[in-house]
Amino acid sequence: MKLLKAGICLLAMMLISGCWGQINFDQLTVVSAIGLDPAKDGMVRVTLQLSNPTLPVAAGGGSQQRRPYVNYDAVGVTIQEAVERIQHQAKKSLFFPQTKVVLISEQFARRGLDDTLDYFWRETNQNLNSWVLVSRLPARQVLDKAMELEPVPSEEWRKYLQGDWKRPLQVDVQMYQFLPRLNQIGYQAVSPGIGPFNASGKTDIMEIGDTAVFKNDRMVGWLSGEESQIVNWLTGVSRRGSFHTDFAKEESVSYSLNSIRVKVTPLIRGDRLAMMVRIKGEAEVLTATLPLHFGTEQAMLRDTLNKQVKLAVEDTIDKLFVNYASDVIGFGEALHRSMPSEWKKRKSNWDKELRQVDAEISVSFRIRRTGLLQ
């Protein structure tokens, strides 16, 4: 009797291997990037970059002539429909959980995203950790033309966006952060942009720079690298940066900024909303094109730095709140956190409120090092 029970248990263990639901690796294709473009009549063109894994060299894979990736595209009313059409072309089971990058073309972003992106909310196999990029060219072209060091371009982009070192001038956002912010008035979505470095030739190196600003689910504009850096500081994502101060006669001093602490506090003055921004940090001189005397000129350098940073921050906030009327630095959420009753009152007119915000910015950097080893 015991033997019978043991036998049944062992037999049951065979069920664990999942043989009946198996999909072998050669029947899968890994989707490494999804590209979204607009198509006519409000439809969406989905491009999938499928990577073709090469066998390791030891197994004889080194000399294989295989394309490292291939792009398929199809048009559909929803992303789901387009993906089903691509399934016919791809002839293998599409494996989504390893998606590295989702490319949204600028045209599509400006048309309006929300309904289409519902797919990413619901589909359980989607990778919520994939990185979102907005491409200046149609996504299909970017995926076709991209030439990177890695055989599969989206892998290179993912490594770039994941790395920490380039952080100052670049925002980065993953799908799980991007999706809810499309509907959040108090903290709108941003996304890094990607475009070709030279807009010519069959293959191109892609440059990830600039930031696309969204208002609700539509894209409204771009921010330059320096402005994205300021957005990173104000949202607390980055605590480092670089800044370039200009002096008379085209001289300049550039600094590397560290340990930046930013405090954004909403205040109510009478009936008006004010935003107090306090930025503190340390600066280190990187290069100077004019001869500097640190003993005597330190105060002047510091004041110039502080003044110019303040100006840059003011300009960025102006551009965001007045031109784009989009709260990508999370000021609304900051108000929500500190004064929930005020937020409830002002939430419905948040566009108008943003335009009327008084921004009081105070910047104080301390110049610590001169960059010379003396």
Piece of the chain touching another protein by CB under 8 A; list 72-80, 149-157, 205-213, 336-344: 336-344
Residue 355 as a binder of another protein (CB under 8 A): the answer is: no
Residue 86 forms beta bridges with which residues? none
CA-closest candidate to residue 179, choices 117, 244, 97: 117
Give the relative orientation of helices 225-235 and 294-318 as an angle to the nearest 10 degrees: 90
Q: Are 333 and 187 in contact (CB under 8 A)?
A: yes
CA-closest candidate to residue 254, choices 242, 264, 266, 265: 242
Q: Of these, 78, 80, 107, 129, which contacts another protein (CB under 8 A)?
A: 129
Residue 197 as a binder of another protein (CB under 8 A): the answer is: no
Q: Of these, 61, 97, 163, 201, which contacts another protein (CB under 8 A)?
A: 97
Piece of the chain touching another protein by CB under 8 A; list 24-32, 61-69, 176-184, 309-317: 176-184
Minimum Å gap between C-beta 262 and another protein is 13
Q: Of these, 7, 62, 180, 225, which contacts another protein (CB under 8 A)?
A: 180
State which residue, 21 or 295, has the beta carbon closest to another protein: 21
State which residue, 18 or 60, has the beta carbon closest to another protein: 18
Q: Looking at the chain, which runs of residues are DSSP E strands?
A: 28-38, 44-51, 69-76, 93-95, 101-105, 131-135, 190-196, 206-215, 218-223, 241-246, 252-269, 272-288, 358-369
Q: Are 309 and 366 in contact (CB under 8 A)?
A: no
Supply angle C-alpha 90, 65, 46, rounded to 5.
25
**φ and ψ at 311, to 5 degrees?**
-65, -45
Tokens of 284: 């280190």
Residue 348 as a binder of another protein (CB under 8 A): the answer is: no
Minimum Å gap between C-beta 164 and another protein is 11
Residue 265 as a binder of another protein (CB under 8 A): the answer is: no
Please work out the total of residues on this chain that contact another protein, with binding judged by CB under 8 A. 19
Residue 183 as a binder of another protein (CB under 8 A): the answer is: yes
Binding residues for another protein, per CB under 8 A?
A: 21, 97, 121, 124, 128-129, 174, 176-177, 179-180, 183-184, 333, 336-338, 340-341
